[in-house]
Amino acid sequence: MATPVRARKRTRVALERLINRELSFLDYDARLLDLAGDETLPLLERVFFLKVFSEMLDEFFMVRVAGLTGQAAAGVNARSPDGLTPRQTLVEARGRVLDLYRRQAALWAEELCPALAAEAITVTSVDDLNHEERASLDERFEREVYPVLTPLAVGPGQPFPYISPLSVSLALFVADPDTGEERFARVKVPEGLPRFLPLGLRGRFVPLEQVLAHYLPRLYPGMDVREWSLFRVTRDADLEVSDEADDLLEAVELELRRARFGEVTRLEVASSMSQPMREELQQGLRVSDDLVYPLDGLLDLADVGEIAQLDRPDLKNDRWVPVARPPWNSIETAAEQFAAIRAGDLLVHHPYDSFVSSFESYIDRAASDPEVIAIKSTVYRTSDDTPLVPALIEAVERGKQSVCLVEIKARGEERRNVEWSRALEQAGVHVVYGFPTLKIHAKTTLVVRREAGRLRRYVHIGTGNYNAVTARSYEDFGLFTADEEIADDVADLFNHLTGFGRPAQFRKLLVAPYTLRQRLVEEIRAVADAAHDGKKARIRIKVNGLTHPEIIEELYAASQAGAKIDLLVRGVCSLRPHVPKLSERIRVRSVLGRYLEHSRVFHFEAGDHSIYFIGSADLMPRNLDHRVEVLAPVEDPALQSELSASLDALWSDNDTSFELDAKGNWERVRPKKDDRPRSGQQVLMRRARRRLSLARSR
């Protein structure tokens, strides 16, 4: 049935104003693949970008394609803000993904593998091993691999097996030479072993699936293996917790069990797989043709992270050791720590500034300080060596009130957060899980301390998670403050999340889903009004994603009024810059360097009014309307100057940055003639070293 002319016109107008969110996600992944192909980058850094590309593509299918497929299957034809239906988006996405797969396979086989081999890192087959290496492989197979293998056949009394998500498997047609009976079988590539098995002294690495294929006669003695091939399944991993759940922890645990058996959203198969074998898989998994992706070469290249982690510093960026930022480098006691924060707000910038010497030390000292009577914090994503959980437990053991808001619905961290919740509860920490339909994404910690006969509150507000591991690779800001109005706001927020009452009017914080979106709209409109009156009018925003239609329309209006708008958007961006009479004064760039640009920074200039915010919120509907998010003002002029300089450093990047054009294409930013490559992250590393050197020389 033909689409009505009026509907086609609406779709065209929407596409001219907005870029589809899902397709923009694939654009982000394509930028990662571009960096993997950049010969100016150290070789193992390129391999690392290929790993991240593969992981992001997995996430796309586990979450975005899962949602779209569900909508399309339910007959939902509602158009997204850009004008596309779920079915149209899926069709367009499939074409782009197939192209990305072709680029990925060619890059790995034709560029990265030969370059690695030239550096004595050879990914090879069993056939290319010498006698000593073959003998070593025989021994390792019998000792380490064979004991964990479980071949499964399909036949009478043996139904098609459950295929776990994101695991590589061998599919086989195995026949009995005596009877001629043929069966389909599956062997899972073990996940607890290295995907690339190191062998010998020549730097040889054999993919584990090829090892299994070589020893198939050992698995099926006396049988005729007529065909073997590789496949991999992706399943819906988006949890759906009922808003009527009485026990949120129990509901999430139930969903985790259900998610293991989620609907298939992608079936990757080796392009050499025969049609009968592909049909066998599709029938057993109940997968339609549009979810099947034939691939050349290796499946699941996220595992090349094992290669990227090899101890070859000559093939990597120079190692960066975060510095202990003043005054944290000279603080030794809890009293000194809190005195420094009382003297003025403190800003830290990870991973340039040390997470260990700042937040870890802060929370450890607070837990052991006799004058501290309460600690309240949020956990969204954390790590096994997090300082936060042990500090909260220690605080309880020392008789302090200890409260932790654990977001057990944090995607990918559900199981870990459930485990932490159990441990905290058993230790006596008061654990709160938030709301079934509202994720707690804010990064806040409140410390209550007894001082001079009164209680004083100290606050940390961050742009990133309290995660000791990611703090070494994610770029984030953290603000330490004793500002009484901010402390009042954070205390009110905690009381709202742990209690039942509605939050009062916040004094300084912008809090979603209550005040944040409207306050941002007001700030954008103030800049637009200033531009209309011929005054200074500028907006600078740094976020991970920008898709909220209302915010985008307000930015368009500000641009049309004459405001200058610079947007640093690392990932998904639905806004179209440089469109005549719509967004001519808007620039959009994405910086992808050795660190994941994760901080959210907002700067609004309207005449004499200038204000900065940092916090947890991206400019997406889920963040502004369906999560608890916090933005805090940064009011100290010196700290504002630092935020401004950080934004400027990233805008000056011509090394690993991309710029978005009006057609929705991302173009790599290159040095101009007679200019040299300049990395914004390298600039910030040098500044961190210089800041510490100046402090030591005083």
Percent helix, strand and coil across the chain, each rounded to 5?
40, 25, 35
Looking at mean pLDDT, say which of 2-11, 229-238, 302-311 comes out highest: 302-311
Closest alpha carbon to 556 in 577, 534, 572: 577
Q: How many domains does the chain have?
A: 2
pLDDT single digits (tens) 447-495: 999 998 899 999 999 999 888 888 999 999 999 999 999 999 999 999 9
Radius of gyration in angstroms for the set of CA atoms belonging to the chain, rounded to a whole number: 27
Q: What are the E-state strand segments in 418-536?
A: 430-432, 439-440, 444-451, 454-462, 474-481, 510-512
pLDDT single digits (tens) 52-78: 999 999 999 998 998 888 888 878 788
pLDDT single digits (tens) 111-148: 999 999 999 999 999 999 999 999 999 999 999 999 99
Claim to verify: residue 578 and residue 678 sit in the same structural domain:
yes
Q: Cα separation of 93 and 26, whole Å?
A: 8
Domain stop point among 477, 506, 535: 506
Q: Cα separation of 87 and 20, whole Å?
A: 13
Claim to verify: residue 452 and residue 583 sit in the same structural domain:
no
Q: Cα separation of 265 and 65, whole Å?
A: 7
Dihedral in degrees, nearest 10, Cα atoms 65, 68, 72, 73? 60
Distances (CA, A) of 265 to 165, 275, 513: 10, 20, 31
Q: Is residue 680 part of a domain?
A: yes
Q: Is residue 668 part of a domain?
A: yes
pLDDT > 70? residue 4: no
Claim to verify: residue 492 and residue 517 sit in the same structural domain:
no
Claim to verify: residue 523 and residue 653 sit in the same structural domain:
yes
Q: Cα separation of 350 and 466, whole Å?
A: 12
Cα 161–165–168 angle (5° rounding)?
80
pLDDT single digits (tens) 653-698: 999 999 999 999 999 999 988 889 999 999 999 999 999 888 777 6
Claim to verify: residue 480 and residue 543 sit in the same structural domain:
no
User: Catalytic residue at 131?
Assistant: no
Helices (H), 18-112: 21-36, 43-59, 66-73, 86-106
Q: Is residue 128 part of a domain?
A: no
Cα 423–425–429 angle (5° rounding)?
110
More confident residue, 237 or 363: 363
What CATH number does residue 370 fall under? 3.30.870.10
DSSP, collapsed to helix, strand or coil, labels residue 454 as: strand
Claim to verify: residue 589 and residue 474 sit in the same structural domain:
no
More confident residue, 1 or 161: 161
- pLDDT for the residue numbered 383: 60
pLDDT single digits (tens) 483-541: 999 999 999 999 988 886 677 689 999 999 999 999 999 999 999 999 999 999 999 99
pTM for this entry:
0.91
pLDDT band at 414 (very low <50, low <70, confident <90, very high): low
Claim to verify: residue 446 and residue 557 sit in the same structural domain:
no
Long-range residue pairs from 125-132, CB within 8 A, at least 24 positions apart, any chain: 125/206, 125/210, 126/206, 126/210, 126/211, 126/214, 128/204, 129/199, 129/200, 129/204, 129/206, 130/200, 130/202, 132/200
Closest alpha carbon to 94 in 55, 64, 70: 64
DSSP, collapsed to helix, strand or coil, labels residue 503 as: coil
Cα 340–342–347 angle (5° rounding)?
65
- pLDDT for the residue numbered 28: 97
Claim to verify: residue 444 and residue 402 sit in the same structural domain:
yes
Phi, psi of 578 (to 5 degrees): 65, 20
> Cβ atoms within 10 A of the Cβ of 531, count?
24
Claim to verify: residue 459 and residue 444 sit in the same structural domain:
yes
**Burial (Cβ within 10 Å: 0-12, 13-18, ≥19) of residue 139:** exposed
Q: Is residue 23 part of a domain?
A: no
Mean pLDDT in residue range 610-634: 96
- pLDDT for the residue numbered 607: 97
Q: Cα separation of 1 and 484, whole Å?
A: 63
* N- to C-terminal Cα separation, the chain: 77
Domain that holds residue 460: 334-506
**Burial (Cβ within 10 Å: 0-12, 13-18, ≥19) of residue 244:** exposed
- pLDDT for the residue numbered 11: 55
Q: Is residue 144 part of a domain?
A: no
> Cβ atoms within 10 A of the Cβ of 135, count?
13
Q: Would you say 691 and 326 are in contact if contact means Cβ atoms under 8 Å apart? A: yes
Domain stop point among 506, 541, 559: 506
> Cβ atoms within 10 A of the Cβ of 85, count?
18
Q: Would you say 569 and 545 are in contact if contact means Cβ atoms under 8 Å apart? A: yes
pLDDT band at 423 (very low <50, low <70, confident <90, very high): confident
Q: Which residues of 355-377 are buried (b: 16+ CB within 10 A; e: fewer)?
A: bbbbbbbbbbbbbebeebbbbbb
Q: Is residue 421 part of a domain?
A: yes
Claim to verify: residue 529 and residue 631 sit in the same structural domain:
yes
Mean pLDDT in residue range 200-204: 91
Q: Cα separation of 334 and 652, whole Å?
A: 39
Q: Is residue 345 part of a domain?
A: yes
pLDDT single digits (tens) 156-189: 778 888 898 999 999 999 999 989 899 999 999 9
Phi, psi of 200 (to 5 degrees): 70, -165
What are the tokens at 283? 């029938």
pLDDT > 80? residue 433: no
- pLDDT for the residue numbered 385: 65
Closest alpha carbon to 551 in 606, 616, 621: 621
Domain stop point among 489, 506, 523: 506
pLDDT band at 245 (very low <50, low <70, confident <90, very high): very low
Claim to verify: residue 495 and residue 528 sit in the same structural domain:
no
Instruction: Identify the helix (H) or strand (E) that includes residue 2.
Output: none
Q: Cα separation of 685 and 693, whole Å?
A: 13
Q: Is residue 328 part of a domain?
A: no
Query: In this structure, which amino acid lies at residue 110?
Result: E
Instruction: Identify the active-site residue in 214, 349, 350, 441.
Output: 441
Claim to verify: residue 374 and residue 477 sit in the same structural domain:
yes
What are the tokens at 539? 């907006």
Q: Would you say 96 and 22 are in contact if contact means Cβ atoms under 8 Å apart? A: no
